[in-house]
Structure 1
Amino acid sequence: MTLPEFGIFLISILTSVTGQFLLKTGALQLGKVNATNWLGHIFGMLTTPALVAGLCCYGVGAVAYILVLTRVNLSVAAPAASLIYVFSVIMGYFFFREAISLNRAIGLGLIVCGVLLVIWKK
């Protein structure tokens, strides 16, 4: 993966992670869904700014990822996209005070090592 390809890929990753952050923020604003409030939640999803912005970020991330796919093999781009998981867990820790267990930290480390092996050029 060349530097320009990596730059587009990074835009895809960061906008997708930002989208996840905004979707989580919007979901917290909505509250828990149950059998009696599901219809109101669907309307709320369409009118909650954080959720709409999160979906827009996902859209930008998808467009950037498509641009990456025009330049990079799927066998490289798809595994590398798993970095979204790493950034999402880190974001959950810092912004939503979600715990990172030892098993999760090891798993994240393995993901990073796997991505490095997949994108490494000799």
Structure 2
Amino acid sequence: MSLQEFFLLLMSILTSVGGQFFLKMGALKLGRVNAANTVSHILSIATTPELITGLACYGFGALAYILLLTRVNLSIADPSVSLVSVFSVLLGSFIFKEPIPVTRLVGLSLIISGVILVVWQK
């Protein structure tokens, strides 16, 4: 993987993680959805800055991913982007104080190991 390809991959991952962060912030601002407030919550999505920012981050991440796919095989790009899950769990833990049980840590380490094996070049 060249430096440019690595940069595109990194941009795709970081913007997707940023999207996760801002969507969570916006969701916390909205509060819980129930039958009585579903319509108002749906309407509030369009006016909540954090949610709009999160969606924009996802858009930039998708653009970076598309550009990456013009240069790298899907069989390498897609598993590499699964690192978004790893960073999202860490973000949830450090920023939102969400617990990480041992089984989730094992799963995250399996994801990381899998990405290493997929991108490994002999």
- If the length of structure 1 is used for normalisation, what is the TM-score? 0.98
Percent of residue pairs identical: 60
1:72 aligns with 72
2:54 aligns with 54
- If the length of structure 2 is used for normalisation, what is the TM-score? 0.98
Residues in 2 aligned to 1:2 and 1:100: alpha-carbon distance in whole angstroms: 34
1:2: how far off? 1.9
1:116: how far off? 0.7
1:121: how far off? 1.2
Residues in 1 aligned to 2:107 and 2:91: alpha-carbon distance in whole angstroms: 16
Segments of 5+ residues of structure 2 without an aligned counterpart are none
The alignment partner of 1:27 has SS state of helix
Letter in 1 for 2:104: R
Which aligned pairs between 1:107-118 and structure 2 lie closer than 5 A? 107-118=107-118
Deviation string 1:87-109 (CA, Å, 9 cap, x unpaired) is 00000000000000100001101
The alignment partner of 1:96 has SS state of coil
Residues in 2 aligned to 1:62 and 1:12: alpha-carbon distance in whole angstroms: 7
Deviation string 1:7-37 (CA, Å, 9 cap, x unpaired) is 1100000000000000000000000011110
* Count of residue pairs the alignment pairs up: 122
Residues in 1 aligned to 2:4 and 2:103: alpha-carbon distance in whole angstroms: 34
The alignment partner of 1:33 has SS state of coil
1:120: how far off? 1.2
Residues in 2 aligned to 1:47 and 1:21: alpha-carbon distance in whole angstroms: 17
